[in-house]
Amino acid sequence: MAPSTCNNKGRPPTFVHIGGQRCGTTWMYSCLSEHPEIFMPEPKEIHYFDNNLDKGDEWYVQHFQPTESHTAWGEATPRYLHWGDDSVSVPWGQDGEPVPPRLAQLAPDCRLICCLRNPIERAYSQWRWMNYNMEDNINFEEMVAENMYDCLTMGRYADHIKRYFDFFPKNQILIQIYKDVVNNNQGAVQEAYDHLGVDSTYVPEEIGNAYNSVIFPKVQKVIDNYGLECIVKAVKSTAIGDWIRRRAQSQNRQNKYRKKISPETRKYLNDYFSEQIEEAEKLIDDDLSHWKSY
């Protein structure tokens, strides 16, 4: 597809991090935006292809204002991975049009980054996040049984990846595994830098830091809603930032919402995702056996 024609108020992205949700996108965004050769707008998630299509391509590309020092520019919206899939529910008033064809039309040479997390672990992380952000606590088993908030369909990675492979060459899509990113921060970041064609020897300050842990989520929601990421960046390198990180680690260990998944639910989830995991292994040519007996 030929790229859409846009005015000179911006340029189509050269890359997009498409998710998935609860798969470390916020941390990778921080590492990418810190690189001097990469331009990323704030807020992190523009939500053009899921929430704002009615505003048009010109509205979207105006977010990308790279300078001569930038060789790559893009954004990170985790919902893009699954948005528009037939199995995913669409909230009232939002556009459910699939992302891949629209993105390919606007930016056919765009390089994509995707991170996949064990789908059971991802659903559990989503449940914990929801419990912090919803007024009424949600039972994990009920959430799974009713596929609330698409907690299961988000993890149907094979289905989602196929849609992107239909519109983008495989060499334009970097697929990372969450566990590998956690175990080797620097290697994952260097791989992403290589993929985007920027200096991969650059080491961001975020190496070793955890992002978007389930702590002070209502504060995080205010930050997201009002585009105050600049405040986070200013605080994170201070003593207050260090305290917050220690607090996050402590609460993650003692979280009152943390619980063991029942054997029955665990079996149900393993069975549900089994075929999808096997298909994903073939699609990305990677061993995901550690996901099969969570």
pLDDT at 85: 83
**Of 137 and 249, the one with more pLDDT:** 137
Average pLDDT over residues 155-174: 97
pLDDT at 221: 52
Cα 125 from Cα 21, distance rounded (Å): 10
Q: Is the pLDDT of residue 258 over 90?
A: no
Q: Is the pLDDT of residue 259 over 70?
A: no
Beta bridge partners of 16: 75, 112
pLDDT at 92: 52
Cβ-based neighbour number of residue 169 at 10 Å: 9
What pLDDT band is residue 254 in, cutting at 50, 70 and 90? very low
pLDDT at 246: 53
139: amino acid identity, one letter: N
The pairing of strands 111-116 and 173-177 is parallel
Residue among 220, 243, 110 at smallest CA distance from 174: 110
13: left (phi over 0), alpha (psi -120 to 50) or beta: beta
Q: What is the mean pLDDT of the chain?
A: 85
Helices (H), the chain: 25-34, 48-51, 56-61, 99-106, 119-133, 140-145, 157-165, 178-183, 185-196, 217-226, 229-236, 239-254, 263-284
What pLDDT band is residue 88 in, cutting at 50, 70 and 90? confident
pLDDT at 213: 53
What pLDDT band is residue 62 in, cutting at 50, 70 and 90? very high
Beta bridge partners of 115: 176
Q: Are 28 and 115 in contact (CB under 8 A)?
A: yes
pLDDT at 257: 44
Give per-residue pLDDT as tens, 200-251.
Answer: 999 999 887 765 554 454 555 555 555 555 555 565 556 665 555 555 544 5
Phi, psi of 85 (to 5 degrees): -65, 140
Cα 121 from Cα 129, distance rounded (Å): 12
pLDDT at 71: 97
pLDDT at 227: 57
pLDDT at 1: 41
pLDDT at 170: 97
**In sequence order, what are the residues at sequence separation of 6 or more whose Cβ sits closer than 8 angstroms to the Cβ of residue 36?**
69, 202
Q: Is the pLDDT of residue 131 over 50?
A: yes
pLDDT at 4: 47
Residue 194: both structure tokens together: 């290589």
In terms of C-beta density within 10 A (0-12 exposed, 13-18 middle, 19 or more buried), how is residue 209 classed?
middle
What pLDDT band is residue 183 in, cutting at 50, 70 and 90? very high
The SS3 call for residue 16 is strand
Q: Is the pLDDT of residue 75 over 90?
A: yes
The pairing of strands 72-76 and 173-177 is unpaired
pLDDT at 209: 75
Cα 89 from Cα 154, distance rounded (Å): 10
